[in-house]
Chains A and B, each alone.
Chain A
């Protein structure tokens, strides 16, 4: 294969990986390679040196007092199968299970999905509604960033070349007495598997016993330069009881939250109708309980 790479380095620890990235400008981390190898071949990205993260120990899911911590090297397959993810963050489990198809899910990592920064990255809307934060490391230390602040545009993050995503924190949800949690992930594309989202949506709502929406987070993929939270719509819905007219209004307001374009996958008008449809269906489930 026509892959313009000179060197692949295989560090055995995170510290070593960070050191290599600091010392070798032009180096780029590679995890599952399911984005990067394709892009290197097409000439869409370049790297003289690849730093392979496979043996760095970034895979794994653990509980912490603040929530669930998913290592950046964890595969989609492992995420989708994890009982804790499935029960506490069902949107993420669903999203991971819809990335490509199973063979891809066995290689593709969460860190790679974020690092690649595609507007269509399926896990991102699910992570956004979970209020995720990313832990970032360099040879000089660690920092934490709300996930929303990671992305700079299509294919671009605010990571420095010498930084790595180490893990993603999903804060635990504490459901009060009589509260209901509704959480969904839906992906729209013209085939069942192995398809880039034309539109995807994750939603989380906590509904009080009186029907009032206490918390709502809505996020969409493939409708803007990065995956986006539908903030205006969230503000409209929060602390209200859903009825027909509110639902109707939400479908109008959400059109301000998204900025879809025409591309080879669909015209912007289709995406707007799909956003309205997905939101309407989510709200129907929230209302139904």
Chain B
């Protein structure tokens, strides 16, 4: 049945029509600050409808609410899972237990590079309370994990490539017995010479991690005539940045529960993509996809660390459950999680950038070497984003970017908030400051002269940015919020030992998945209107702490004109919604929202006629708002939506509806990196103010000011929460979180020495939100999860260097790193030469 509102696509319509007026006009003066009124006035938004057909459309001027009613969009209603989380009532995997349940443990390699001459499980089997000890030969299906490439066995058989490679899995009646048995597994490992430096790994003659060679893949962006541009530049900066990795430090470590039921199996997992787990478990057990059900557990943080990695513990638990016929729960302890789960890639970024005498960028050459660790995992996808993000929101006519994915025997590189963009942004923003210094320009000024805008809207990929380009806008607003000019005019004095600095960084963030991941970029929703007018919503994207339930609830309530409290959004389950890909790339609200809007539009093809009958009007006149179905434009002619729902139920009208969304196909040439890498982009600018104690190398981030073009605010608290959290997490990466390794073994596998920020370190955070009419997702919303992270560490780095008057090109800026960068300029450096 065709939708009643097939052309009601005002948001999409704008997407294709608007060719960006000057930024100041495009901003619909809907900015607000944290301190502003909690319920800012917000214009009524037309309800977008069918979104499956991505072709250009003209908005139908006759549609959308004609009776003003703001609805919950952009407000601050209490997030639906807040109470249960605060009260400790949420049941995480670690809180779940079933009768007869066994506890799993992993026997892992303590060395990073070896051949395996044999694995002996006899001592493990003999541990009391142990029920099962399994090795690779016990796998009924394929011994493979990996989302994109299958270079990784679930259980190793002949070779160890990484500390933590699994030799055997154990199930026992108690966790203590399981881990004791895991420790009792012995392996005859013959050491190989490993490779622990990605730069060295690229050199000919280096030991190889896989037969195919250590350089797994190189991505490129090539644009313009480099030789000519080099000649035109009057200043050139060359630099090499060493950017460290990061652990996700989610509060809840990896965990899952596998429940076998005859010839099929259920997995309850803390994860970001139940569908990945479904595929992994089906492959390992040799089952059909339909025989594997994966339920999203309440998830205590993911940040990318639960994108692909949870497939590994899930496949282990599933194997043990399958073999023993009993439920099996696997919970990582923190030390194991820190050592073996995926990490933000450590990277070396080499730059040669040139500008003319006026500070206009002429060319940018970037070579990024990403340390993938022993297996490729998601490294290629991370590198794909790093590759096209290497230049930032700047107009550079000539670009040459190489991004290498390199195997080593180090930690397992993987997905992490920002996905490769934070590393290259850190480098790009540092280089801009260096260029500014050599030209005698203020860092703000060099950015003003180079940011993309309404006239210069072509990215390094050749993609022309559609809609308003608000790079200059966020730059001006964030720097104003931070008091940039005043700070530069009169630098605040510290007490005796402190020096103050200020730094700025921008980000251009491609929302949702890169062209290379297009096939995963789709989403599914189910909406069920209950006879009492309440609504069940299921989406394929997960709540992992970020607020996806809140966003989905807000969007569904807005579209159906009901109060958010009437909408219950349930976590994904592979048996109730279609594969919607991973909850990553800031795509949660975007993708769930579009699928919900589609489901609501389809539901309304059945709901509106019923409402019209009750209202004695035409179905096309029906409008849903304020908990009523009413005749558009006539607030007095209304029936409660609950009444319509009851009527549908009594007439046995189908009140369940599915929704589906996928973005339009894009063109991109991976050989040159030219094309539409992403569908649309968010822009943000962060400014950091720091106090540095140079002699002790201590960095205190005092304040971060953030200006974001979010398209549209879905839920203001959730949005601000993402910005605050992104800033704090990125500060940890930039300043204190280091992952020192010795032959692939992590030296600080606990929160005693892996130093994440605490509440006492949180800086003052000032937030400026810009709404804009450009391309976007539901109601025009873009993504916020990652843009909030990416420009923070770079702003902090630039502020620290501003305070010290020297460059620090190694991340994180720990006290020893800062002091080492000072070198002989440290006032007491001479004491190191004292004869003892």
A contact residues around B736 at 8 Å (CB)? 190-191
Please name the residue on chain A nearest to B812 by beta carbon.
A190
Residues of chain A within 8 A of B179, CB atoms compared: 2
* A and B contact pairs by CB, cutoff 8 A, 11 listed: A2-B179, A101-B758, A191-B757, A265-B753, A269-B832, A270-B816, A272-B832, A273-B695, A277-B695, A277-B828, A281-B497
Tell which of B758, B815, B831 touches A272, judged by Cβ atoms closer than 8 Å.
Answer: B831
Question: Cβ of B175 and Cβ of A191 under 8 Å apart?
Answer: no
Partner of A276, one of B747, B758, B831: B831
Complex: how many Å from CA A127 to CA B678? 61
The answer to whether A267 and B816 have CB atoms under 8 Å apart is yes
What residues on A are CB-neighbors of B176 within 8 Å? 2
Question: Is B758 in contact with A193, judged by CB distance below 8 angstroms?
Answer: yes
Which residues of A have CB within 8 Å of B740?
264
B698 at the interface (CB under 8 A from A): yes
Chain A residues near B3: list those with CB within 8 A. none
Contact for B828 among A2, A191, A192, A276, CB less than 8 A:
A276
Q: Is A81 an interface residue (CB 8 A)?
A: no
Q: Are B758 and A191 in contact (CB under 8 A)?
A: yes
Task: Tell me which residues from 770 to 802 in chain B have a Cβ below 8 Å from any Cβ of chain A.
Answer: none
- For residue B227, CB closer than 8 A to chain A, the reply is no
Q: Are B834 and A196 in contact (CB under 8 A)?
A: no
| Interface residues in A, total, Cβ within 8 A | 28
Instruction: Confirm or deny: A252 has a beta carbon within 8 angstroms of a beta carbon on chain B.
Output: yes
Measured CB to CB, the nearest residue on chain B to A102 is B760
Closest CB-CB distance, B584 to chain A, in whole Å? 28
In the complex, what's the smallest C-beta–C-beta distance from B814 to chain A, in angstroms?
Answer: 6
CA distance A119 to B543 in the complex (A): 44
Interface residues of A (CB under 8 A from B): 2, 101, 188, 190-196, 198, 251-252, 255-256, 264-267, 269-270, 272-274, 276-277, 280-281
Which chain A residues lie closer than 8 Å to B764 at the CB level? Answer: none
Report B's interface with A, CB cutoff 8 A. Answer: 175-176, 179, 496-497, 695-698, 700, 735-736, 740, 747-748, 752-753, 755, 757-758, 760-761, 814-816, 819-820, 826, 828-829, 831-832, 834, 836
Give Cα A272–Cα B179 distance, bound, in whole angstroms: 41
Q: Which residues of B contact A281 (CB under 8 A)?
A: 496-497
Q: Are B831 and A255 in contact (CB under 8 A)?
A: yes
Separation of A276 and B820 alpha carbons in the complex (Å) = 15
In the assembled complex, the Cα of A101 lies from the Cα of B758 at a distance in Å of 10
- Known A101-B758, A273-B826; judge A190-B832 contact (CB<8 A): no
Given the known interface contacts A252-B831, A273-B819, the answer about A196 and B695 at a Cβ–Cβ threshold of 8 Å is no
Minimum Cβ distance to chain B for residue A6 (Å): 13
A188 pairs with B816, CB closer than 8 A? no
Complex: chain A residue closest to B742, CB-CB: A264
The 3 closest A-B pairs by CB, nearest first: A192-B760, A276-B828, A270-B816
Known: A191-B758, A281-B497. Is A273-B832 also a contact (CB below 8 A)? yes
Q: Whole-angstrom distance between the alpha carbons of A270 and B740 in the complex? A: 16
Q: Is the CB of B760 within 8 A of A191?
A: yes
* Residues A266 and B815 in contact, CB atoms below 8 Å apart: yes
- A270 and B815 within 8 A (CB): yes
A48 to chain B, nearest CB (A): 16
| List of B residues within 8 angstroms of A277 by Cβ | 695-696, 828
A276 cross-chain contacts in B, Cβ below 8 A: 828, 831
> Nearest Cβ in chain B — how far from A203, in angstroms?
16
A-side contacts of B814, CB under 8 Å: 190
Contact A188 B828 (CB under 8 A): no
Q: How far is the CA of A274 from the CA of B820 in the complex (A)?
A: 12
Quick check: B755 and A190 within 8 Å, CB to CB? Answer: yes
A274–B497 CA distance with the chains assembled, in angstroms: 13
Question: A54 vs B688: C-alpha distance in the bound complex, in angstroms?
Answer: 47
With A2-B179, A195-B755, A266-B816 as contacts: A188 and B696 at CB distance below 8 Å: yes
From known contacts A190-B814, A267-B816, infer whether A251 and B755 are also in contact, taking CB-CB under 8 Å.
no
Interface centre among A255, A256, A265, A269 (most CB of B within 10 A): A265
A86 to chain B, nearest CB (A): 21
User: Cβ of A255: which chain B residues have Cβ within 8 Å of it?
Assistant: 831, 834, 836
Task: Report whether B753 and A196 are in contact in the complex, using a CB–CB cutoff of 8 Å.
Answer: yes
The smallest C-beta distance from A171 to any residue of chain B, in angstroms, reads 31
Knowing A2-B179, A194-B758, A277-B695, say if A251 contacts B752 (CB, 8 Å): no
Give min CB distance, B642 to chain A, whole Å. 47
- Determine if A190 and B815 form an interchain contact, defined as CB atoms under 8 angstroms apart: yes
Q: Contacts A188-B815, A251-B828 given; 13 further ones with Cβ under 8 A?
A: A191-B736, A191-B757, A191-B760, A192-B700, A192-B760, A195-B755, A264-B740, A264-B747, A270-B815, A270-B816, A272-B831, A273-B695, A281-B496
A273 to B693, CA, bound (A): 13
A274 touches B696 (CB 8 A): yes
Which single member of B695, B698, B760, B820 contacts A190 (CB below 8 Å)?
A: B698
